[in-house]
Structure 1
């Protein structure tokens, strides 16, 4: 899976892993967990946590940044930080975003239609990136003129999430640039608060008498930005690819024969934006599928494989929008479940509904194949060419 071919198409390898069983012991003693029930258990079991951070090399800013966020925190630090973020990142705040999301979708589809009049366009560049970055930018209070710069920075920074354990100079440079940007934004919001998440988190952090350090505030704001659009961007691209391969499915979605919410859940199962997570046993006496897990043992959780477990889903390699009780693990489960998973689902629901209604004739242009990002953990497209033969009118 760590080879370019494995990253491009891990699904045959997942199927081979299932043949070995839901849990396999690797030569170094760590565990490879691919079964749905086993992955779900490890994600939810309090005795497992994220691997204890190894002190990064001097200057490894990307890893240092990630290690100070809730993504890499265990109790009690994880609960301390997450409870503060949850106070301001509420379900009501997400629900209130629906009108702005609809307006943002209309805006990007306007631009898509205009660009498509001259020939094939890149869906990732015109829709899948600008839509979620607009939404998370509005939520955080990032000025519109600054948002475009985040795509290459996030692409470089997320290298720190891969299993290689190291980062490049570009990832560290991205971490420094994002840290500088948000340090300035935090300072501005302390002086002149607004109706946004940065202002709310700064106020909550300051009111909690130092329960959240300035460095933790900075790291978590950057995580909210990057996670706020990276996974949604990949969800949109992965979903559109399925629709381009299945025009019949697109037609049924367009006329309401298929609920868009069910389609999105099957996309999350079939081609998850997040394919891999890691955990570590933090207590003694743990077992997974009958295998004893000693304290300190690391586990690689193949989320993408769990979503295609034949013991959980019939014919798992087939995209089937009629499935019931899907429950994909694509946004995690348990204490580390993605705090913005409902926001991602809302954005995708609005985007696919409006896209298919406004543009009934979508197709993949011949001779222009999509380009996958060369990543294992975050699975998505760098470029996704799209032709629109009959542009619609949202009015």
Structure 2
């Protein structure tokens, strides 16, 4: 190839359809050129490395030199969230966070939000004023998960618009526009992080004095077997839940509706049977995952994969979306088929860093897509492909213009 395949993957011109590049990548299961990271695109290799303790997520271990896609400098006062830590720090913080989020300590938290989530997404659809001009991102798939995470954390409803603003600025910095002033964007994003941290600090202080049933109260006041989180750990965890969870869910819902509109037969089936939303979302996580790849992992020892030695200290990229379409793992992988019998995808990763918010993201996508399928009359894409975000990691349309004949009650 005339250009390194990894550089093509992150080139915006391939954003609308990177899958032919992933197919090319799989022909060289352990891809490496002289000035870049090691890149893997086969399902079983990726799955194995996601469970391998010799792979580090800690930024302090990372050798980013030579990576064609660097990360923005974050001059944040907040410590790294558990997503960017290794055991034992990662395990301690993840256990402490999970006490207030899921089983075994809070097994019904997500289930009991079902009615509230239905109300939020229904209200957003009710608010669509012109059925002929809908931007699904701006009107549904973006505001829905931000509103949900605010309710989950216990952010007062009158403050939700402030969270929308902060989340938008911080997310935009992950998605730089060509030719943008990077230093200025970093400055604006760091200011937003600081404002978010100060706001959260005030909420944490209130919750410690007068805890409620919300997740922020439990993070701030809980004293389990691992002790209590420090204030800074609570702040970094809350910021992670707000930003990381929100970003992936926006893409999941938007990619989902785009895929359904390209597959009208499945859309009609979902309209007639809302229970189909469960396998639809699982197949979407395989077919069009919101997180396409995991960059910037570091090897802590020499690792051999398919006869190739990846040396200690190497930068490693795992292309989840390529593994999800590996024909050695899935039959007819380029076909969108919610009724396929085996959808053990990599859409939420795997291993100790598997997506913490997966139960909530699944439920949000199921409710949003089933409600959109039921209520939008004859929905159609205005342009295909739609305009995509710049980001190659969190891949999804920046806008999804659609039109329909009306909105059912």
Normalising TM by the smaller chain, what interval? Answer: 0.7 to 0.9
1:76-95, aligned counterparts within 5 Å?
76-90=88-102, 91-95=107-111
1:1-395, aligned counterparts within 5 Å?
1-20=9-28, 22-28=29-35, 30-53=37-60, 62=74, 64=76, 68-90=80-102, 91-112=107-128, 115-117=129-131, 119-158=132-171, 168-204=186-222, 209=227, 212-256=229-273, 259-278=276-295, 279-282=297-300, 284=301, 286-365=303-382, 370-393=386-409
- Structure-2 change in CA distance of 1:150 and 1:62 (3 Å): farther
**Uncovered stretches (5+) of structure 2, i.e. residues with no partner:** 1-8, 65-71, 177-181
Structure with the higher helix share, 1 or 2: 1
Take 1:54 and 1:160, find their aligned partners in 2: how far apart are those partners?
23
Take 1:9 and 1:181, find their aligned partners in 2: how far apart are those partners?
40
Q: State TM-score, norm by structure 2.
A: 0.85
CA contact (8 A) 1:68 1:215 kept: no
CA contact (8 A) 1:363 1:386 kept: yes
**Uncovered stretches (5+) of structure 1, i.e. residues with no partner:** none
How far did 1:293 drift? Answer: 3.2
Report what 2:6 is aligned to: none
RMSD across aligned positions (CA): 2.8
How far did 1:378 drift? Answer: 0.6
Question: How many residue pairs end up in the alignment?
Answer: 382
Q: State TM-score, norm by structure 1.
A: 0.88
Matched position secondary structure for 1:74? coil
Take 1:311 and 1:187, find their aligned partners in 2: how far apart are those partners?
52
Take 2:83 and 2:328, find their aligned partners in 1: how far apart are those partners?
29
Stretch of structure 1 that moved more, 167-176 or 136-145: 167-176
CA contact (8 A) 1:161 1:377 kept: no
How far did 1:62 drift? Answer: 3.0
